[in-house]
Amino acid sequence: MAQVAHVEEWLDDCATIAEIEAALVDLRYRHSEGGGPDLRTSVLTHLAWVPPEWQEAAADTLAGLGARHPSRTLLLFPQADGEDALSARVHLEFYELPGVEGHRCSEVVELRLGGARADAPASIAAPLLLPDLPVFLRWRGRPDFGSPVFGQLVDMVDRLVVDSAEWPDVPSAYAELVEQFDRVAVSDIAWRRTLPWRRALAGAWPELPDRLTGPPAETSLVAGWLESRAGVRVELERADTLPIGGDPKPSDLLSDELDVFVRDSVYEAATAAASSG
């Protein structure tokens, strides 16, 4: 894992998009003066919608992500009851590259959308997206799939990343998620978490269990997978932990999802089956 060599930061409680863009350029240029060139080899824009109750968890997930995905991350913190203003914190993380002079740089822009700004996040995020690169939207918590905010953000991204383990109402909520599949490619971190479990089950084929024990989201998805792939229906039993797969870091799970660029038909079929289960 690359080490953070340096962080540059810029703050403004009442920012404009032009000022944020200027800060991104200035911070990078400031650090490169007198040293080797700093590389911004971007591969994607990572957009995150983070309601207040998810701010701490989002910070944990973000830690270490920049080292693996040289990207621009836009963190959108809606504060509908706050003052009508755009508050910005721009920070550039410079990572060491083994054997190479200079650093690799990842850009993080934290945007607090106060008052009415929280209702129009797309108009703030759109000018800050890296042109012609994929845009991933990580939606923390349970999305209100019918809300205008969800609609405007989803319509500007290539992939929606959720973690249905954060939702209180699975498996019934999957029915609403399934409706999004033709609108945007979807990744579910809960599904990614079950990968070692699914590999073990696939390795045991044609023998399969008649009962799955684990957290509700993950067991529902694995049960949906068995039903959609193999025509097998199994019983579910609730437990706090997965039987296989341990407790991977949130940033690792999100990082894996940011490598996926196409629709996952196996996942979609599993979710559809889970929604009717």
Partner 1 sequence: MVTQSSATEPRTDENPLAEGLELRRRPEPCVLTIFGASGDLTRRKIFPALYALAYRKLLPEQFAVLGVARTEMPSEEFVAAMEEAVREFGRDEFTAEAWEALAGRTRYIASEFADEEGQDRVIRCLNDLDQEFGTRGNRVYYLAVPPVAMSKLVEEIGERRTTEGWTRLIVEKPFGHDLESARELNQLVSRAFTEDEIFRIDHYLGKDTVQNLLALRFANGIFEPVWNRQFIDHVQITVAESMGIENRAAFYDQAGAIRDVFQNHLLQLVALTGMEPPIDFTAEAVRNEKLKVLKALATPAPNEVVRGQYGPGFIEGQPVPGYREEPGVASESQTETFVAARLEIENWRWADTPFYVRIGKRLPRRETTIAVEFKRVPHPLFEDASELRPNILIVHIQPNEGVSLAIGAKVPGEGMRVRTVHMDFLYGGAFRTGLPEAYERLILDAMLGDATLFTRADEIEEQWALVDAIVAAWRRDTPAFPNYPAGTWGPQAAQELVEWHR
Which residues would be at the binding site for partner 1 (CB under 8 A)? 37, 39, 41, 43, 67-70, 97-100, 104, 195, 198-199, 201-203, 205-210, 225-234, 255, 264, 266-267
CB of 270 to partner 1, least distance (A): 10
Closest to partner 1 by CB, 22 or 120: 22
With contact defined as beta carbons under 8 Å apart, do 242 and 214 qualify? yes
CB of 228 to partner 1, least distance (A): 7
CB of 232 to partner 1, least distance (A): 5
Phi/psi at 209 (5° precision): -75, 160
Closest to partner 1 by CB, 14 or 204: 204
Identify any residues that bridge with 96 across adjacent strands, giving them in sequence order.
103
Neighbouring residues of 143: CB distance < 8 A, sequence distance ≥ 6: 150, 162
CA dist 107 and 72 (Å) reads 5
With contact defined as beta carbons under 8 Å apart, do 163 and 189 qualify? yes
Closest to partner 1 by CB, 170 or 212: 212
CB of 17 to partner 1, least distance (A): 24
Structure tokens at 145: 């799939």
CB of 97 to partner 1, least distance (A): 5
Closest to partner 1 by CB, 87 or 194: 194
Strands 211-214 vs 235-238: parallel, antiparallel or unpaired: parallel
Give Dmax (Cα) for the chain: 65
* Nearest Cα to Cα of residue 273 among 230, 221, 237, 198: 221
Q: What is the dihedral of CA 203, 262, 71, 161, to 10 degrees?
A: -70
Closest to partner 1 by CB, 80 or 97: 97
CB of 227 to partner 1, least distance (A): 6
Structure tokens at 2: 């690359």
CB of 40 to partner 1, least distance (A): 8
With contact defined as beta carbons under 8 Å apart, do 140 and 78 qualify? no
* Nearest Cα to Cα of residue 187 among 252, 131, 139: 139
Closest to partner 1 by CB, 227 or 257: 227
Closest to partner 1 by CB, 81 or 210: 210
